[in-house]
């Protein structure tokens, strides 16, 4: 069945790699995630956001994830891989409880936009309920720049290292999401925060590895989570923009920095936007190259193939989770 993140994270911390946390909203994304992680022999966290629940229905997504456990076994001769079903950015106790009651094996309670004491109280309440059901909980301290939880925060508030021991001790969380310069979506930095290379491509500023190091010093061996970790591959941006798309100043986190993060206490890396870009690039290409095509399998199929390639690349070349199932 689905597993919580406890053992996954313990092994990832020891082994110096990170578990991929991929968002899914439909069958093709789920197939791509599972087939890629089986082929890479990587554990995986399937994430369901509020947007995904609205789009695809929580019940349907939960049965799809449970089905994915069987699908993984079918793909690799009965062995399967460790699979977690995780609520991404839960914003209330009731929502977390509903997911726990329904069979999610992990939840995030994101109280990062609340005053500190309210974040502590809410997170603690979720942890108390979750742990009765052997479900693990991710909390968050610090606010990512950009749009998070449908609340636009213009500026990032980096995680304060002086708060982390108190937060983890008071709440009992199993992992902590931090803010060190990442943000959600395909435009992670404003052009004016970046420099440009010779080809005119935006080069973003470095993540705040100094803050991560301070947090690690305060919480040795404690699992840290990195949200907003898409790299925004410029190959996809280019395909999209040469096939009718209009993505402006799209920029992500360079892979080199994610490799570095994966070797640290960061043991869960969240990736959604890169998958969206891969699918969109593949679909736009089919429509431009073959305008007579109208069978959804003929464009969702290539989108799924491209996604699988992307996810395998993440496991094998960036997060280091390949071979760790």
Binding-site size for Zn ion (CB under 5 A) equals 1
Maximal CA-CA distance, the chain: 60
Touching ligand 13P, residues 46-85 (CB under 6 A): none
- Compute the distance between CA of residue 70 and CA of residue 60 in angstroms, rounded to an integer: 16
If residue 202 lies in a helix (H) or strand (E), which one and from where to where? strand 202-203
Which ranges of the chain does DSSP label H, i.e. alpha helix? 6-15, 27-40, 50-56, 58-75, 93-102, 116-132, 161-171, 209-218, 234-242, 255-263, 273-289, 296-313
117 catalytic? Reply is no
Residue 229's binding partner, choosing from Zn ion, ligand G3H, ligand 13P, none, with beta-carbon cut-off 5 to 8 A by kind? ligand 13P
- Other C-beta atoms closer than 10 Å to the C-beta of 71 total 17
Question: At closest approach, how far in Å is the CB of 12 from Na ion?
Answer: 5
By CB under 6 A, residue 110 contacts ligand G3H: no
> For ligand G3H, which is the closer residue by CB, 89 or 308?
89
Question: At closest approach, how far in Å is the CB of 51 from ligand G3H?
Answer: 3
Touching Na ion, residues 257-276 (CB under 5 A): 266-267
By CB under 6 A, residue 25 contacts ligand 13P: no
Using alpha carbons, list the distances in angstroms from residue 189 to 99, 228, 250, 258: 33, 11, 8, 16
Residue 267's binding partner, choosing from Zn ion, Na ion, ligand G3H, none, with beta-carbon cut-off 5 to 8 A by kind? Na ion
Binding mask 171-190 for ligand G3H (x = CB under 6 A): -------------x------
Binding mask 213-252 for Zn ion (x = CB under 5 A): --------------x-------------------------
238 sits in the region (left: phi over 0; alpha: psi -120 to 50; else beta) called: alpha
CB 231 within 8 A of CB 292: no
Catalytic residues: 88
For Zn ion, the binding residues (CB under 5 A) are 227
């Amino acid at each position: 069945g689905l597993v919580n993140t406890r053992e996954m994270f313990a092994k990832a911390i020891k082994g110096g790699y990170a578990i991929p946390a991929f968002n899914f909203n439909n069958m093709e994304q789920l197939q791509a995630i599972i087939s890629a992680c089986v082929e890479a022999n990587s554990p995986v966290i399937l994430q369901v956001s509020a947007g995904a629940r609205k789009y695809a229905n929580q019940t349907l997504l939960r049965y799809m994830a449970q089905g994915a456990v069987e699908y993984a076994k079918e793909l690799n001769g009965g062995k399967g891989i460790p699979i977690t079903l995780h609520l991404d950015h839960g914003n209330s106790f009731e929502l977390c409880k509903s997911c726990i009651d329904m069979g999610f094996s992990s939840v995030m309670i994101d109280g990062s936009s609340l005053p500190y004491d309210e974040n502590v109280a809410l997170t603690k309440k979720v942890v108390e309920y979750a742990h009765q059901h052997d479900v693990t909980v991710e909390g968050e301290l610090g606010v990512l720049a950009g749009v998070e939880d449908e609340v636009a925060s213009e500026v990032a508030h980096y995680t304060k290292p002086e708060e982390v021991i108190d937060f983890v001790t008071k709440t009992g969380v199993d992992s902590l999401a931090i803010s060190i310069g990442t943000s959600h979506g395909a435009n992670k930095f404003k052009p004016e925060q970046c420099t440009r290379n010779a080809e005119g491509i935006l080069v973003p500023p470095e993540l705040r590895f100094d803050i991560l190091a301070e947090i690690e010093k305060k919480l040795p061996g404690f699992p840290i989570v990195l949200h907003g970790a898409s790299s925004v591959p410029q190959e996809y941006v280019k395909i999209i923009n040469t096939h009718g798309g209009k993505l402006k100043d799209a920029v992500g986190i360079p892979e080199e920095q994610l490799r570095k993060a994966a070797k640290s206490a960061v043991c869960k890396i969240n990736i959604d936007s890169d998958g969206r870009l891969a699918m969109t690039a593949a679909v736009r290409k089919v429509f431009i190259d073959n305008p007579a095509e109208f069978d959804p399998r003929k464009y969702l199929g290539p989108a799924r193939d491209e996604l699988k390639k992307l996810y395998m690349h993440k496991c094998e070349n960036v997060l280091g989770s390949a071979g760790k199932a």
